[in-house]
């Protein structure tokens, strides 16, 4: 079931299209819109906007279920109370439309939802509203997690019917000190390791999606700056959506990771989805 955390803003309207898009690829063909009345947008305007979303839903044969709820302790708590926990729930929410102190995700409700670990969450930064949430060309950076593509799969599956091209990027992250000292041979070894990892991932994808339903290509780079590589490849490959996993590591790692994540969010040349599954 797809849940849309909707705040009534223009950015919310853009993000809502992702909710609708993902709902079209579920068996239920149903989208639950959850709006918490925190008075940041006038209730009349919210209702008008939701009616428009409903029209878009019905144009795509999606049933929209409205949940306009009063504010409890805070917006995040209210959302957590309203959405059922579990792997069946997919929550679509937005990052900030404009950065606040250079941050798009940090300090937002979306960040808290991602951290909550109660359901699958996809926080979207919409950079290209004209795509109408139909990106078709994807870049999925992989950090080398032993689970491979498994954590991205539930989210990617929801986009699958409209994917035309998928690029996998494996950045073999090394420190800048190592980068300066590694021999070419060592670099090549690292690249081979990355290629081996991607070969296994590609096999998984082909098993999951069936061979050749979309164009699949991959890149392996050795770098001391993975966020830069994602931006450069997003630009070079003209991708329309970057799907990036939120860190599943320790809080300290997450804090370090968050800064680079924000850097990608700030510089992204296309729409970007930050996902975290359970």
| Among the listed residues 109, 220, 243, 272, the single contact to another protein using CB under 8 A | 220
| Among the listed residues 6, 21, 140, 257, the single contact to another protein using CB under 8 A | 21
177 in contact with another protein (CB under 8 A) = yes
Residues within window 200-219 making contact with another protein, judged by CB under 8 A: 216-219
Closest CA to 95 of 169, 14, 163, 40: 14
Rounded to whole angstroms, the Cα distance separating 179 from 77 reads: 44
178 in contact with another protein (CB under 8 A) = no
Residues within window 125-154 making contact with another protein, judged by CB under 8 A: 127-134, 136
Q: How far is the CB of 278 from another protein (least distance, A)?
A: 27
Tokens of 103: 């941050």
The partner residues of 36 in beta bridges, in order of sequence, read 69
98 in contact with another protein (CB under 8 A) = yes
Q: How far is the CB of 36 from another protein (least distance, A)?
A: 18
Burial pattern 110-130, b for ≥16 Cβ within 10 A else e, equals: bbbbbebebbbbbbbbbbeee
Rounded to whole angstroms, the Cα distance separating 170 from 75 reads: 36
163 and 138 in contact (C-beta within 8 Å)?
yes
Q: Which residues bind another protein (CB under 8 A)?
A: 9-11, 13, 21, 24, 52, 55, 97-98, 102, 127-134, 136, 161-162, 164, 177, 179-181, 183-185, 187-188, 191, 216-221, 225, 228, 231-232, 235-236, 238, 263, 266-267, 269-270
């Amino acid at each position: 079931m797809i849940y849309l955390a909707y705040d009534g803003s223009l950015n919310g309207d853009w993000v809502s299209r992702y909710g609708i898009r993902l709902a079209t690829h579920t068996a239920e063909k149903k989208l639950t819109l959850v709006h918490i009345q925190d008075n940041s947008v006038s209730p009349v305007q919210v209702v008008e906007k939701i009616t428009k979303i409903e029209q878009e839903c019905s144009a795509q044969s999606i049933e929209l279920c409205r949940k306009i709820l009063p504010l409890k302790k805070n917006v995040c708590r209210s959302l957590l109370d309203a959405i059922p926990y579990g792997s069946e729930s997919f929550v679509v929410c937005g990052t900030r439309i404009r950065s606040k102190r250079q941050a798009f995700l940090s300090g937002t409700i979306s960040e808290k939802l991602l951290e909550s670990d109660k359901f699958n969450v996809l926080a979207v930064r919409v950079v290209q509203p004209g795509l109408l949430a139909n990106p078709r060309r994807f870049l999925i950076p992989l950090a080398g997690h032993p689970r491979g593509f498994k954590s991205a799969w539930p989210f990617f599956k929801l986009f699958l019917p409209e994917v035309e091209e998928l690029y996998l990027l494996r950045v073999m992250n090394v420190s800048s000190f190592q980068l300066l000292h590694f021999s070419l041979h060592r670099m090549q070894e690292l690249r081979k390791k990355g290629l081996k990892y991607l070969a296994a991932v590609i096999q998984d994808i082909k098993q999951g999606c069936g061979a050749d339903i979309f164009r699949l290509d991959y890149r392996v780079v050795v770098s001391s700056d993975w966020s830069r590589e994602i931006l450069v490849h997003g630009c070079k490959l003209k991708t329309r959506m970057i799907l990036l996993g939120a860190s599943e590591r320790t809080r300290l790692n997450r804090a370090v990771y968050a800064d680079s994540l924000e850097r990608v969010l700030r510089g992204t040349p296309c729409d970007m989805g930050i996902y975290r599954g359970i």
